[in-house]
Every structure is written in C-alpha cells, then in structure tokens.
Chain A
Amino acid sequence: MTVRLGLAWLGGAALLVGTTFLLDDYTADLFRKMLLTVTLALSFNFLFGIAGQLAFSHVAFYGIGAYTIVILAYHFGWPLPLAFLGALAIGFVLALTVAVPSLRLEGFFLALASLAFAQIFTVVMVQGGEVTGAADGISGYASPTVLGIRFAGQNYLFAVIGLFLATLAILLAIDRTYFGRACRAIRDNPDPAAAMGINVARTKIIVFVLSSMLATIAGMFYAYADNYVNPFVFDLDYMFLLFFMVVVGGSGRHEGAVIGAVVLFALPELLGNVIGNRHMFFYGLFVVLAILFWPDGLAGIIDRFRAALRTKAANPAPIARPALVPTARVPTPPHADAPLVTVRGLSKRFGGIVAVDGIDFELYAGEILGIIGPNGAGKTTTFNLIAGVFPSAAGSVRLRDTEILGLSPHDVAAHGIIRTYQHNRLFAGLTVLDNVLIGAHTRFSGSRIGSGRLARLEVEMRREAFDILSLVQLADQAEADVRRLSFGQGRLLEIARALIGRPSVIMFDEPAAGLAPAELERLGEIIRWISGHGIAVLLIEHDMNFLLPLAHRAIVLNFGRKIADGTPATVCADPMVIDAYLGATVQAQGGTA
C-alpha cells in the first residue's frame, strides 16, 4: 500500500472519529444507524451493482446476524466470540441454501428464491415464540464487553466506524483484482465471460455468499445499536430502500452506494415535514426517473460536474502513448507431428434437424485452417460444440490427449481454446484495458486475493495487455469506454482479449465481416503473426479473397457434413464445392490465389 493511500484511509477514519465528538445523543444515534445502512449498501452494491445479481435477501441476512447473535449470546449464554462464529456459520449455510439451487440457472431464479426467503424470514421471526420474542422482538440484553471494553455509547460508535471501514477495505481489495473484473464481466455479458474461462455459476455463488456474510456481520453490530431487535426492522421495505440507495447513488460504484445511502437516509430527516412518513413513494418515483434519465446515478452526475470543471481549469494535453513495438511473447508449443486438435464424428441435432453430421478434421499447431460453406452449413455450430456451448453432442474433440467435448465453456477456455464472436461481444461496462484483462482470467487462477504474488501478476498482466493492445493498435485507447470503439476496433479488441490468455487454439468466427479494407489488411497480418507463434487458428470466413491467401488448409461444410478438405487451391477446384458454395467465378480467383 502506498503512503498516500494509507494517509487517505487514516484521514477518512480520523474524520469519522472526529465527527463523533460533535454529536449529541440524538444525532449520534442517527449517525451510527446511517453508518450501518451505508455499510449494508456497500455490500449490497457488490452483489447487485458490481456482480449484477438481483436478490432480495440482503436485509434478511442482516436480520439473521442480529437475531442469531442475540439468541446465542443472550438466550443460550454462549460467549460472544463463539456466538459471533455461530451466527456467521448460520448465515453461511443459509446463503448457500439460497444460492446454489438458484444460481446454477440463468434467469430470475435468484430474485424469486431470495424474495421468498426474505418473506419467510420475517414470518419465522414473528411466529418464533419465546426464542425470537415474536412480534415484540428481543430486548433488555446487555451491551457486549470484549477485552474489558464495553461496546456502548462512544465505544460502540467507534466499532461501527471500524465495521464500515473494514467492509469498504474488503470490497475494494476484492474489486481491484481479477475476481472483481470477472464479476463485472458476468454482469455485462455472461456468455463471453464464460468463453474467457470464468466459471460463471461459481463466481456468482461466491459473490452471493460473501456479500450475505458481510450483511450478517453488519447485523451482529446492529443488534447492539439499541439492544433491541424486532422483525419489522428487517422487512422488505428496508430491502427496497437499499435497492433504491444503490440505484440512485450509482450502481456498481462504491462511492455511489455511499452517496445514495447517505442521501436517502438523510432525506426523510431533513424533509420530514414536507413528505411525511410516506417517503417510500417518492423513492420509488426517484428510482424510475433515475433509471430512465440518469442511469449513472448521483455519482455519475458528480463525475460529469467534475469533468466539466477540470476541462475548464486545466485543459490537459491528451495522454500520448507511444505505439509500442509488439513484444507480447507467446510461447511456441512444442512442435509435434501429431495434430493439436483431433475432431472425430462430431454431431449435433436440434429436434429433428441435424445441424452437424459426423464431422472429422485435424488441426496442427501454427496452422490456419479455414472453414467455409453456405449459410446454415453448421460452421458456427461446430465452433459452439468445440467451445462447450451445447451440453449434449456426439463424437469426440481431443486436444492432444485430452477429451474436451462435453466440458463447459470455461473449462474449454482453461484448456487453451479461445474463440471470438461473429458479432462483437465486449463487456460494455469495462474499459478497453479491462476487457483485455478479462482474457487473462485463467492465468490468474490459483492466486490468493491479497497475496503479493497476485499483486505482481496484476502488474505483469497490465504490461502484457498494453503490449497486445499496441499489437492491435489500440494502446492509445486503453482507458477508453469500449462503447466508444468503432466496429473494427471492437473486433481487434476481441482478438487482443483472446491473445492474452496464451491460447493454443483461437477460433475466429467471420472476423473479416464488416471491416474496412485497411482493417482487413491489418487483420490478415495479425492472424499470420498468431499462427507464426505456433497458435493454431480455426477460421470461419465467407470472404474468399481474404481467406484463400491466408489459410494453409480449408474444409468445406454443407448441410452439416464435410464435403471437402485440402489446400485452398484443391478445395476451390473441387466440383462439389463449386456446386454447393463457390460458383464458377470465384473458382477462377481461387485458382490464381
């Protein structure tokens, strides 16, 4: 940690602690409750804003933490550390119970299961008899004493400040790693995230459990705010309020969660006379308006304001990054006469339609193999089968000696087979550089978050990402929003994203489509460069003028079957290919190529 960062944290902590000395009893109570709400909004923002998961159980876990520690420590007389661990364990098990069934599937299932869970939590607390104190809740228990310090009054306030800072530090530490990037990638575009080697379901489950545990811990602190817990504190109104805080503040940003929580917490206090106690109506309205007109929330508005001030003040020169010499090193796989990829009898049917019908081919290291054929011939389906998109298929796809057919997309990617898409599929909420770094996901795996190894790896990967971006001539755009890239630049970015993972095979799905002539030429150079580094290239392409000079070999598909296989020249001379696909005129061109 740099000295400046350390000072910033120290300053923040001092500011918060200093504030506590200015407060009277009433404002101190507001202050600690606001801090608890801000803490809860931060961990919820991680789940919802950063990882994009719609869940309604966050406040229920807050309540589980509060109730459990009180029941264990007060009713059962457990020592406080043990009660803390017990509550944490219960939160963990319940979070897994909700997450595992609903997050293996795509769709709104987590939202449904977590909403039902939140509802049942309130009912169980109300109906819980003597254990939960029913509708009256539990009160009259003493503030805890840890190491001789009694956590009440000012001390309690310090503890809540500590909780807030610790939660923020944990979330920032996670967010600034490959794991945080993976969460955002999944939020923006889950399929290509999986194709880059991210285990989508596992990542989502980890995020849900982690953020629910943070809520559980915050709940344990809440239990000693008034030494009183009751079911209605943890009802769904509070849950929706959290939602609104994150959305109005600017979802996906830590500062947004803090700003949103502070503003929506403070508004009813400030405007109590104007809007009465039905402020939730106006918050609902705010959210609708915010989503429609200011999707970046208050944090986005502040950003724009600051950006406007900055251009007026300084008007800094554009950051010029010299185009780096391409130095990205990709190790050449050991040269072998045996094929790198062997496909045998690959088949897939959809209902009664056979999309791919017993295809065989081999792919060698450093080879560029073209796949051509009319629309509907099964070219992209073949890619999808190799990439693991369809769970059921017949045949075999071996990478050297490993069977990869039947693996899920992230496992295929981890084996070093990476694809690009026919229509660019980038991660819209990430910068150009971060989009590339998503491609490096598998190279980070196994590094512990917070370890020095991960920090070094991150620096190394950033340098390598810059090198690869210069290779595709995007280095000067590294910090730009991907939505500002042209179509051709987006295509090149996908290639950079594929390259940084050091794959042994790259599958290109019609990379030339939609590119300008200059971009085409560059693309051809890049593909040659890739193959020159020993990476096998599988290339679906309709543009014969582009493909034929480039490919070492080509196979032709028609109605799901392979009808020809050989050098581009022989394939183009094949009467069956001419009949099915090329027609006579292209044959002449192919012959001269």
Chain B
Amino acid sequence: MRDFVELMVSVGEAGGIYALVALAFLVTLRPTGVFNFALGEWAGLGAFVGIAAVVWLRLPYLVALPLIVGSTALVGWVSERFTVRPLIEHDAPPLSPVLALLGVMTMTHEGIVFFFGTSNQFAPSPLGAAPLQLGPIVAPSQSFLVIGVTAAVFAGAWYFFERTVWGRAFEAVAVDRFAAGLVGVNLRLTSTLAFAAGGAIAGLAGLLQSPLTSASYLMGLPLAVKGFSALVIGGMGRVEGALLGGLLLALLERLVLRYAPIPSGYAIGVPLLLLILFLLVRPTGLLPSKTIR
C-alpha cells in the first residue's frame, strides 16, 4: 500500500510536468498549426531564470514567479511577432515557421549555456527541502507542489477553452482559421497569445522540474520529447488529452523502471515506443478532438 501510494505520487509529479509541456505544445499548435519545437528549451529557460531570480537575486518566490513565467511568455511573444507572423503573412511555405523556431530553439539553448554554463545547478524548492505529510502520504514537498500546480493550470485551461469566449475563439481558429477571421476573431492576437501562453506554461513546467533533478542545460530536449509523446498518446485535440497522456506516460515509465530488468537510462525508450504504438494503432490519441469529420 505504501509502495502504491509512493508510486502514485511519483507518477503525479513526473506526469504533471509532462502534461504541462504537452499543454504548452497544444495551446500553441491548435490555433496556429505550428509545432513549436523550441518549447522544450523554453522550459529549460524557465528553470534557469528561476535560479537567477531566487538564488542569485534572492527574490521571494512569489515575486519571482511572475517574473520567471513572464520572461518565457515574452520569449514566446517575441518569437511569434518577429519570426512566425511575418512568415505566415507573406505566404511562406507552411514548414517555414517551424524551421525558424528551430533556429530560435538553438539560440535559446546556446543562450542558456552562455549565461549559466554547462554544470548542473541546484534549484531550491519554494516549500523547503523537508518532506511533507498529507494524511497517509509522505512525500517531498515539491511533489505536492507539482501536482497542485498542474491541477490548477489544467482546471484553468479547461475553463478557458470550454467556458470563455476567448477560449472558443482559440478553438474556432483551430477548426477553420479563415472562417474564424470572417466572424471577427482577431487572428494576430490569437496567434501571439498562443505563443506567449505556450511559453509561459513551458517555463512553469521547467521551473517545477528544476528542484527535482536540478537545472541542466540538457533538460530541454527530454522534456520536449516527453511532452509531445504525451500529446500524441492523449490526443492532440483537447486539454484533457494532454493531462491523460502525461500521466499515462509517467505511469508506464515508472512501471518499466521498477519492474523491467534494463538499465534505468533505457526508460527513455518508453516515450518512443508509446509514440510508435499509438501512431500505428490509434493515431487520434485516447481522447480524439471533438471536431466533426
């Protein structure tokens, strides 16, 4: 029983972060059709800006948080404004924005190395290092924080997409960009907001991850791979899909780590195997989009 509870907490913690990265991909992809591979590096950026704000500048966490998330949102905003938008408006080939963002990804990565170096950096948890007891569950405080923040972000995202006019506008652009423009959705603003929101969510995911494993300049890519694998597993059409996919991916990863007789590094093969399996068997993911086809 203890074992099971521990497993569930660790699944919630890892899966929550995967789900947040998946959500970052999703909110950018749906209204713009652009798969932003830079989001993994932007998660890494969130972790390191966190270290700069909390460790170097000794800012209180609650002051630092909006700065951190705002900085990755700003990177998203700037990238959209100066690379993606001009390309879309000048009818560049559809792959061009994705390629330009690969350039932005490399610049982000190299920027992190330039400012923060290549050694792993310890990141403190805002709730301190001591384990926390919640009812029968004893776990590191950061685990509870990750699970709580993930739940809150997903609740907010669900409310936004399902219950607000703005969320419906995002969805309308995803279904038919041209028609949404005709009925008065501001396409430019939607696209900018999608990139900024994706950046903010990715930065948050990286910030939450860093106290668990410490911040590393190499953390971006694995987060990206797990995030988009979670998205394919859960389904690219819906917010709930990202959450389900992230949790399922983390569960299988933990089970493999615990029971399969392979070196722990090979657990990184789990996302790839799931990705290929889902592409073969159920390419729409577990929760397909609600769009009628």
Q: Do A and B assemble together?
A: yes
Q: How far is the CA of A215 from the CA of B95 in the complex (A)?
A: 23
Nearest-neighbour CB distance to chain B for A484, whole angstroms, equals 15
B225 A115 Cβ-Cβ under 8 A: yes
Q: How long is the Cα–Cα vector from A54 to B96 in the complex, in angstroms?
A: 11
Contact B266 A101 (CB under 8 A): no
Binds B, one of A7-15, A287-295, A393-401, A571-579: A287-295
Residue A283 lies at the interface, judged by CB distance under 8 Å to chain B:
yes
CB distance B86 to A292 under 8 Å? Answer: yes
Contact B229 A126 (CB under 8 A): no
State how many angstroms separate the Cβ of A191 from the closest Cβ of chain B: 13
A206 within 8 A of B: no
Q: Which of B93, B95, B98, B104 contacts A288 (CB 8 A)?
A: B104
Interface status of B276 (Cβ within 8 A of chain A): yes
Residues of B within 8 A of A281 (CB): 106-107, 110-111, 114
Q: Are B103 and A284 touching (Cβ within 8 A)?
A: yes
Alpha-carbon distance between A119 and B222 when the two chains are bound, in angstroms: 8
For A295, what are the chain B residues with a Cβ–Cβ distance below 8 Å? Answer: 92-93, 96
Chain A 292-336 per-residue mask, 1 if CB under 8 angstroms from chain B, else 0: 100100000000000000000000000000000000000000000
Closest to A106 in B: B283
Asked whether any CB of chain B lies closer than 8 Å to the CB of A531, the reply is no
In the complex the two chains form, what is the Cα distance from A115 to B25 in whole Å?
15
Docked pose: A84 CA to B265 CA in angstroms: 29
Q: How far is the CB of B76 from chain A (nearest CB, A)?
A: 15
Residues of A within 8 A of B2 (CB): none
Check: A154 CB closer than 8 A to any chain B CB: no
Q: Which residue of A lies closest to B269 (CB)?
A: A120
Q: Which residues of A contact B276 (CB under 8 A)?
A: 97-98, 101-102, 113
Instruction: Tell whether, in the assembled complex, residue A278 and residue B279 are in contact, meaning their CB atoms are under 8 Å apart.
Output: no
Bound-state CA distance A119–B87 (Å) is: 29
Q: For the complex, is B214 an interface residue (Cβ under 8 Å from A)?
A: no
Closest-by-CB residue of B relative to A52 is B95
How far is it, in angstroms, between the C-alpha of A285 and the C-alpha of B106 when the chains are bound?
A: 8
Asked whether, in the complex, the Cβ of B103 is within 8 Å of the Cβ of A119, the reply is no
Q: With a 10 A CB-CB cut-off, give which of B92, B98, B272, B293 has the most chain A CB atoms.
A: B272
Q: Is the interface of A mostly helix, strand, loop or mixed?
A: helix
* B75 interface hit (Cβ, 8 Å): no
From B99, B107, B229, contact of A247 by CB (8 A): B99
Complexed CA–CA distance, A244 and B99 (Å): 9
Q: Is B105 an interface residue (CB 8 A)?
A: yes
Total count of chain B residues near the partner, CB < 8 A: 44
Q: Which residues does chain B contribute within 8 Å of A240, judged by CB atoms?
A: 102, 105-106
| C-alpha spacing A113/B275, complex, angstroms | 7
Bound-state CA distance A284–B268 (Å) is: 27
How far is it, in angstroms, between the C-alpha of A452 and the C-alpha of B93 when the chains are bound? Answer: 36
Query: Is residue A580 contacting chain B, with contact meaning CB distance below 8 A?
Result: no
Asked if B221 is at the interface of the complex by the 8 Å CB criterion, the answer is yes
Encode contact with B along A75-97: 1 for CB under 8 Å, 0 otherwise. 00000000000000000000001
Which residue of the partner chain A has the closest CB to B226? Answer: A116
Residues of A within 8 A of B107 (CB): 281, 284-285, 288
Residues in A with CB closer than 8 Å to B263 are: 127
Decide: A280 and B83 in contact? CB cutoff 8 A.
no
The digit string for A97-118, where 1 denotes a CB below 8 A from any CB of B, is 1101110110011011101110
Residue of B nearest to A115 (CB): B225
User: Quick one: which of B37, B265, B280 contacts A101, CB cutoff 8 A?
Assistant: B280
Report the minimum CB–CB distance from A273 to chain B (whole Å): 17
Asked whether B292 lies within 8 Å of A127 as measured between CB atoms, the reply is no
Q: Are A119 and B221 in contact (CB under 8 A)?
A: yes
B92 near A291 with CB under 8 A, answer yes
A6 CB within 8 Å of chain B: no
Which chain B residues lie closer than 8 Å to A188 at the CB level?
93
Distance between Cα atoms of A350 and B269 in the complex (Å): 39
Instruction: Give every chain B residue within 8 A of A243 (Cβ-Cβ).
Output: 99, 102
Task: Kindly state the separation between the CA atoms of A351 and B283 in the bound complex, as whole angstroms.
Answer: 20
Contact A284 to B106, CB < 8 A, known contacts A105-B279, A116-B275:
yes
CB contacts under 8 Å to A, within B78-116, are 83, 86-87, 92-93, 95-96, 98-100, 102-107, 109-111, 113-114
| B257-287 near A? 1/0 per residue, CB < 8 Å | 0000001011011011001100110010000
A338 at the B interface (CB under 8 A)? no
B273 nearest CB across to chain A (Å): 9
Residues from 197 to 254 in B contacting A, C-beta threshold 8 Å: 221-222, 224-225, 228-229, 232
Interface residues of B (CB under 8 A from A): 35, 37, 83, 86-87, 92-93, 95-96, 98-100, 102-107, 109-111, 113-114, 221-222, 224-225, 228-229, 232, 263, 265-266, 268-269, 271-272, 275-276, 279-280, 283, 292-293
If A278-B110, A281-B111, A286-B103 are given as contacts, then 18 extra A-B residue pairs at C-beta distance below 8 Å, sorted by A number, are: A52-B95, A54-B98, A109-B279, A111-B35, A112-B229, A113-B276, A115-B37, A116-B272, A119-B225, A119-B268, A240-B106, A243-B99, A278-B114, A280-B109, A281-B106, A287-B100, A291-B99, A292-B86
Q: List 16 A-B contacts (CB under 8 A).
A: A54-B98, A101-B280, A115-B224, A116-B229, A116-B272, A119-B221, A123-B269, A127-B265, A127-B266, A278-B113, A280-B109, A281-B107, A281-B114, A286-B103, A287-B99, A292-B87
A interface residues with partner B (beta carbon < 8 Å) = 52, 54, 97-98, 100-102, 104-105, 108-109, 111-113, 115-117, 119-120, 123-124, 126-127, 188, 236, 240, 243-244, 247, 278, 280-281, 283-288, 291-292, 295, 350-351
